[in-house]
Amino acid sequence: MMTSSPDELIGDGARPAIAVENLTVIRGRRTALDDVTVHIAPGTVTGILGPSGCGKTTLIRSIVGTQIITSGSVTVLGRPAGSADLRHRVGYVTQDPTIYPDLRVIDNVRYFASLYGTGAKAADESVVDVGLDDHRTALCSNLSGGQRTRVSLACALVSHPDLLVLDEPTVGLDPVLRVDLWQQFDRLATRGTTLLISSHVMDEADHCADLLLLREGRLLAHTTPAALREDTGCQSLEEAFLSVIRHSTEPALG
Amino acid sequence: MILVVPSLIITLMYFMFQDAPHPPGAPSPFNAACLIMLGVFPLIVMFLITSITMQRERVSGTLERILTTPLGRLDLLAAYGTAFSIAAAAQATLACVISFWLLGLDTAGSPGLVFAIAIINAVLGVGLGLLCSAFARTEFQAVQFMPVVIAPQLLLCGIIVPRDVLPDWLQWISNALPASYALEALKEVGAHPDLTATAVRDIAVVIAFAVVALCLAAATLRRRTP
């Protein structure tokens, strides 16, 4: 079995940044997540990968504490997910940029800065951090899709979160911008931020230290890009993922 | 738009009634109509603006995101309530100034009371709007809540048919709707130089309705959703 045990990944036995135990979420009549257990080490970049509708967003919403869960538990930074004191420490970038199009870039970020209580200086810094200093007084409705994503990111960075959760931040972005963003995520991780990033683009998995492969609400594997290649014998991560899916469905067929 | 439209419509009404015959000595019918408008406009306009804005917050995901920040739910509603009430106050100020000074609106009671009731109506509109936004899936539906929530209140509050000649069961419904009290309070202020007990009771009832609507709206703001 290629799934490493959580303890092995955490190594020094430090407390995991996120501990998800037997999480099951039923949305409507569908089981969106089915008995998922995973531990995520602090200070890492972890990718949640899987096809559309596999439960990535549901897992993310469970971790930020906006999802009503059916059973199991989610512990974030040592506290139950969604606890009041986590709201200062967890940044959440939603799938669609959740910013106000009729406000300027800087006003959007300042608004979130005041919600987090971090002030105007933090707002200026995060606008610079996402490379939108030239556009700080532009109206968000006039920005391109990629720029809006970065405004949305700035709104999360402004609180200097310990854990930053991003739901498909690179969807619809051009390759240059994607590289930019991933470099930024790496910088944040080296500063000690734990990042959890979902994507359905397998190429991006190489930027992650850890990978969670999800399919139809089940966790197929918790692995690393290198281990995934080694275990499946595939060079491209796309093929490797497909191979994991084939292996996981075979016993069911037989 | 928010600022000038009510004033323009009240001015339009002034000219409508200008040549309308009325018994000599009796107050112009414009007085009564203008007073009603000063009460009704804040309610309608604030209801519409609030319900659509809040609906946008809910649909665009900004509300869910805001609720992951340390902001308290009541803080959020209070902030919304204050922001829109300030807009409503500016609107009511302009409408009152124009009505009383330029158009010669004349009330037995103090213009300040008319203004105060207009603001309370606006807050009621904000409360109802915030509450209704929870039940609308789209902005289109949010707009349709206006005839559902506001129209019956205006029909039954005594503007068109005096409340005491309504059938019993409609009087009961009328008694349960906040606009009936708001309009009655305005009539009292229009007719009596002092603040009457009825007016005080009516104002208290409208405030209570506004507070209940805001609290119910707070209950619809869930940090966790299915």
Task: Give the domain CATH number at A217.
Answer: 3.40.50.300
Domain that includes residue A105, residue range: 96-160
Which residue carries 């109506």 as its tokens?
A: B121
Give, for A212, the enclosing helix (H) or strand (E). strand A210-215
Residue A162: predicted pLDDT: 92
Instruction: Examine the domain organization and report whether A247 and A168 are in the same domain.
Output: yes
Interface test with A, best of B60, B69, B222 (most A CBs within 10 A): B69
Residues 135-194 of A with CB under 8 A from B: 155, 159
Find the residue in A nearest to B76 (Cα).
A115
**Average per-residue pLDDT for chain B:** 86
A215 lies in some domain: yes
Of A28, A87, A99, nearest to B68 by CB-CB distance is A87
A70 and A101 co-located in one domain: no
Same domain, residue pair A232 and A192: yes
Of residues A52, A22, A55, A50, the one with CA closest to residue A244: A50
pLDDT at A11 exceeding the cut of 60: no
Q: At what angle do helices B197-220 and B178-191 cross, to 10 degrees?
A: 150
Q: Does the residue A211 lie in any domain?
A: yes
The answer as to whether A45 is a domain residue is yes
In angstroms, the CA A241 to CA B11 distance is 70
Q: Which of B67, B69, B226 sits opposite A68 (nearest CB)?
A: B226
Same domain, A75 and A187: yes
Taking a C-beta distance cutoff of 8 angstroms, is the pair A71, A25 a contact? no
CB-closest option in A92, A98, A155 to B60: A98
- For B97, residues 6+ apart whose C-beta sits below 8 A from its C-beta are none
Taking one residue from A and the other from B, the number of pairs with CB-CB distance under 8 angstroms is: 50
pLDDT of residue B25: 66
Same domain, A71 and A123: no
Distances (CA, A) of A224 to A93, A121, A196, A209: 24, 38, 14, 6
Which of A68, A92, A98 is opposite residue B224, by nearest beta carbon? A68
Q: Which of A91, A223, A60 is nearest to A153 (CA)?
A: A91
- Rg (C-alpha) for chain A, rounded Å, is 18
Confidence at B203, pLDDT banded by 50, 70, 90: very high
Q: Which of A113, A143, A160 is the last residue of a domain?
A: A160
- Residue at A139 is within a domain: yes
CA distances from A217 to A49, A54, A170, A213 (A): 12, 5, 22, 10
Assess whether A116 and A220 both reside in one domain: no
End-to-end CA distance of chain A: 18
Contact A115 B224 (CB under 8 A): no
Contact: B64, A84; criterion CB under 8 Å? no
Determine contact: A82 vs chain B, CB below 8 A.
yes
A117 and B CB contact within 8 Å: yes
Distance from CA of A59 to the nearest CA of B (A): 12
Helix (H, G, I), strand (E, B) or coil at A208: coil
One domain for residues A166 and A247: yes
Q: Within a domain: residue A231? A: yes
Confidence (pLDDT) at A254? 42
| Minimal CA separation from B2 to chain A, in Å | 17
Whether the CB-CB separation of A170 and A185 falls below 8 Å is answered with: no
- Residue A1 in any domain: the answer is no
For residues B35 and B29, give the distance between their C-alpha atoms in angstroms, rounded to a whole number. Answer: 10
Q: How far is B70 from chain A (nearest CA, A)?
A: 5
Query: Does one domain contain both A111 and A206?
Result: no
Within a domain: A105: yes
Q: Which of A145, A160, A175 is the last residue of a domain?
A: A160
Residues A168, A244 within the same domain: yes
For residues A52 and A148, membership in a common domain is answered with: no
**Token pair for A68:** 């009503």
Residue of A nearest to B226 (CA): A68
The answer, yes or no, to whether residue A150 has pLDDT greater than 80, is: yes
Residue B139: the pLDDT is 84
Instruction: Assign A164 a pLDDT band (cuts: 50, 70, 90).
Output: very high
Residue A8: the pLDDT is 46
Q: Of A228, A254, A221, A196, which Cα lies nearest the Cα of A59?
A: A196
Question: Which range is least confidently modeled, A3-7, A202-206, B39-43, B151-155?
Answer: A3-7
The pTM of this model reads: 0.81
Token duo for residue B88:
């409503």
Phi/psi for A252 (5° steps) reads -65, -35
The answer to whether the Cβ–Cβ distance between A67 and B225 falls below 8 Å is yes
B61: chain A residues, CB-CB within 8 Å: 94, 96, 98
Structurally, chain A folds into a number of domains equal to 2
What percentage of chain B has pLDDT greater than the value 90?
7
Q: Coil, helix or strand for A164?
A: strand
CB B96 within 8 A of CB B62: no
Question: Has residue B57 got a pLDDT over 50?
Answer: yes
A92 vs B60, B68, B226: nearest CB:
B68
Q: Where are the beta strands (DSSP E) in A60-119?
A: 71-76, 79-80, 90-93
Query: Looking at this protein, which amino acid is placed at residue B81?
Result: G
Please return the burial class of B170, using the count of CB atoms within 10 Å of its CB with bins 0-12, 13-18 and 19+.
Answer: middle
Instruction: Check B69 against A28: CB less than 8 A apart.
Output: no
Tens digits of residue pLDDT in B139-183? 888 888 888 888 888 888 888 888 888 888 998 998 889 989 998
3-state secondary structure of A193: coil
Set of chain B residues whose Cβ sits within 8 Å of the Cβ of A70: none
pLDDT value, residue A249: 74
Q: Give pLDDT tens digits for A13-48.
A: 568 899 999 999 998 888 999 999 999 999 899 999
> Comparing C-alpha atoms, which of A189, A85, A68, A67 is closest to residue A76?
A85
Contact between chains at B70 and A88 (C-beta distance less than 8 A): yes
Q: How close, in Å, is residue A24 to chain B by CA atoms?
A: 13
Q: What is the mean pLDDT of residues B126-142?
A: 87
Check CB contact under 8 Å for A99 and B66. Answer: no
**Hey, what amino acid is at A238?**
E
Is there a single domain that holds both residue A65 and residue A11? yes
Q: Domain boundary residue among A160, A186, A203?
A: A160
Measured distance CA(A19)–CA(A9) in Å, rounded: 13
Is the domain of A10 the same as that of A63?
yes
Helices B29-60 and B178-191: angle between axes, nearest 10 degrees: 150
- Flag whether pLDDT at A6 surpasses 50: no
